[in-house]
Amino acid sequence: MIRRDTHRFFIKKPRPSESFQRAADAPALPTTPFWFIFYFVNKFRWWYVAMIVLEILHATCGIMLPYAIGEIIRSVTRSTGDSKLIFDTVKQPLMLFAVLSVGEVVFGRVGGLLQTLRHPIHRQHIVRALYAYLQQHSHRYLSSSFAGALAHRISETSLGVTQTMSMLITEFMPVIIVYIVSTALLYRAYPPLAAFVGIWAVFFISISFWLATRSRFHARRAAAARSDTTGIIVDSVTNLVSTKLFARLGFERHYLNERLKYELIQVRRSNWYSERIRWFQFIASAILKVGTVFYSLFLWSRGKISAADFVVATSLSLLIISEARNLSKRFLEFFEHIGNVSNGVGTIVQPHELIDRENAIAPSITQGKIEFRHVDFSYYSGKTVFNNLSVTIQPGERVGLVGFSGSGKSTFVNLILRLFDRQSGQILIDGVDIGDMTQDALHTQISLIPQDPSLFHRTLLENIRYGRLDATDEEVFEASRKAHAHEFIMRTKEGYDSLVGERRVKLSGGQRQRIAITRVILKDAPILILDEATSSLDSITEKAIQDTLDLVMDGKTVIVVAHRLSTIAHLDRILVFDQGSIVEDGTHAKLLAQRGAYYRLWQMQAGGFLPEKDDHNEHLEFQKQRPA
């Protein structure tokens, strides 16, 4: 009995496989941080307009409060002193004060609510777009990047966009509004007072910005040192068994200590710089506070401003100081968020190397004929793997690929799967150039069982259903029985609902291969590629599965990459690779009779495996033995 409620992400209703085949719809994303942020903000523009308006109202209410207090004082000082009439006199400014106080709270909180509701959705939107974009990257890109680092970049970039916007709206905009409105209010009272505060504000913002840009360098170094230390701890913990087996626990502690010393130096430098910034801010705030009080007092004593203006000026200076608090730190955080967006965009939003052509077609492969016509290929310029390679594999043919390590077998398969694009020539399947097909169409019709299949950290059932999403439970069971996977699956605690991965069900290489075979049975594609698919199995299971594979291969074009010649001896045809060329082509019996390269490989194969033969001298030896 399958229990399906154990895993939250289980796709409860199997959907037809085709409904997920719209993977190629990745959006074209802007490649500079500014336009990237703009692109996503524009998608939610009305929400952002609402947030900005609310924040303007919120900040304006806040900054007008000292003005209202000033008006109350002005009214009180103008009153006759009759306590009964005082309320009538201050009624209006009091109302204004009350409305502004309520407005400050309401606009602030409604704006906050919008951000709370919208930012997670906005973030998910960015995650989805970046992930879809990442999916379209080539095998070369993905295999040369760390999966964890890419996932981290997606998360940091999406957070970077929302945090950048959040800081602009709720951190910097209020500061600007407070400075502008307070300067205007003070201007009404006495222009030179406004000039004093205004000049202070310009200097303060400029110096804070400058200090933030300078401290960035130190902050980055400190962050890099911290992350290096984390990396060393992770590496050390991963290799803890080796550490113990080599009795190097003390050595590892010493190694970490050295790293920690370096980290300490960097962190102290960064902290010291932050401390200097704090000094600047305290001194600048004190200058504004004391300066405003003394200057206003002086102006009042000369009758230039009223007592109410004096209160307004001192309250405004306190408000400005509270808004300006940690401005450099906030600039620094802002740079970090922009930096995260910039890094993410730079890493992920690179041009796709392998894309479907404009009018790519999705033909059905009915026969499975594979042709290489004059194919040239190199992974990097200057290192040719295939030079003018031509070969045809007939529909339904079962072909084994053999050759020493590095001779080009996997590259041959990679090109059929279009994991890399050939530089010239053509690769055709059923007469259609694979470059003219959509990658989805190509991959739907080719099954691959890799040597070391990797499984998702999902349930066994989900992993198997990856072959065909709409397969019924019965079809899944039947396929796994055929692949001899059912028995060991049922022995696990939760059967098909067992989760695969760390701290969950751990599968051996052979068991993973059987799951991969089960998937392929469900997928039932007309072309099948096996990369020594039975290499991790014990000989009894291998024999049983070989029979199943023979059944699965029936009616399909099959390519088997083999390291053990015994696994391919029974196939229709064997292609012998050497340094990117097919040097022999024929049946096992024919090639043995030829007494050429294959014959020697067969003889050299001690214990069933081909010897590794990367060594240049050995290769020359092999060449010498080749019949002329």
Ligand X SMILES: Nc1ncnc2c1ncn2[C@@H]1O[C@H](COP(=O)(O)OP(=O)(O)OP(=O)(O)O)[C@@H](O)[C@H]1O
**Interaction site with ligand X (CB under 6 A):** 379, 385, 403, 405-411
Q: How far apart are CA 544 and CA 522, in angstroms?
A: 18
Shortest distance, position 127 Cβ to ligand X, whole Å? 29
In the complex, least distance from residue 561 CB atom to ligand X, rounded to whole angstroms: 7
Which residue bears the tokens 């910097």? 172
Minimum distance between the CB of residue 409 and ligand X, rounded to whole angstroms?
A: 4
- Nearest approach, Cβ of 372 to ligand X (angstroms)? 14
* Residue 370 Cβ vs ligand X, minimum distance, rounded to whole Å: 17
Where in 276-430 does DSSP place strands (E)? 370-378, 384-393, 398-402, 424-429
Q: How far is the CB of 375 from ligand X (least distance, A)?
A: 13
Per DSSP, the three-state class of 393 is strand
| Shortest Cβ 378–ligand X spacing (Å) | 8
- Of 225 and 449, the one with the shorter C-beta distance to ligand X is 449
What's the rounded Cα separation, in Å, for the pair 590 and 574?
10
For ligand X, the closer CB: 129 or 413: 413
Q: With respect to ligand X, which residue has the nearer C-beta, 36 or 404?
A: 404
**Comparison of 179 and 404: residue with beta carbon closer to ligand X:** 404
- Give the per-residue SS3 of 419-457: CCCCCEEEEEECCEEHHHECHHHHHHCEEEECCCCCCCC
501 Rama sector, left if φ>0, alpha if ψ -120 to 50, beta otherwise: left
**Strand, coil or helix: 389:** strand
Secondary structure (H, E, C), 543-589: HHHHHHHHHHHCCCEEEEECCCHHHCCCCCEEEEEECCEEEEEECHH
CA–CA separation, 75 and 52 (whole Å) = 34
Instruction: Provide, rounded to whole angstroms, the least separation between the CB of residue 485 and ligand X.
Output: 26
Q: Which of 119, 121, 126 is nearest to 40 (CA)?
A: 126
- Which CA distances in Å does 26 have to 124, 349, 352, 618? 15, 11, 11, 48
Least spacing, CB of residue 600 vs ligand X, in Å: 17
Q: Which is nearer to ligand X, 191 or 611 (CB)?
A: 611
Strands 370-378 vs 424-429: parallel, antiparallel or unpaired: antiparallel
Distance in Å, CB of 407 to ligand X, minimum: 4
Instruction: Give the number of other Cβ atoms within 10 Å of residue 9's Cβ.
Output: 9
Q: Closest distance between ligand X and the C-beta of residue 519, in Å? A: 22
- Least CB distance from residue 231 to ligand X, whole Å? 25
Report the amino acid identity of residue 79: S
**CA pair distance 412, 393, nearest whole angstrom:** 12
Which of 101, 581 has the CB closer to ligand X? 581
User: Which residue's CB is nearer to ligand X, number 392 or number 405?
Assistant: 405
Least Å distance, CB 405 to ligand X, is 3
Going by C-alpha positions, the residue among 284, 314, 278, 276 that lies closest to residue 203 is 284
Q: Which two tokens stand for residue 558?
A: 């099959």
Note the maximum CA span of the chain. 125
Judged by beta carbon, residue 160 or residue 408, the one nearer ligand X is 408
147-167 helix and 33-43 helix, angle to the nearest 10 degrees: 70
Of the two residues 45 and 626, which places its CB atom closer to ligand X in the complex? 626
User: What CA–CA distances, in Å, run from 203 to 208, 215, 324?
Assistant: 8, 18, 12
Q: Looking at beta carbons only, is 59 or 419 nearer to ligand X?
A: 419
**Which residues, including other chains, have CB under 8 Å from residue 17's CB and lie 6 or more apart?**
468, 469, 470
% helix, strand, coil for the chain, step of 5: 65, 10, 25
In the complex with ligand X, the residue whose CB is nearer, 384 or 394, is 384
Nearer to ligand X, 90 or 385 (CB): 385
What gap in Å lies between CA 7 and CA 4, rounded to an integer?
A: 7
Nearest CB to ligand X, comparing residues 368 and 403: 403
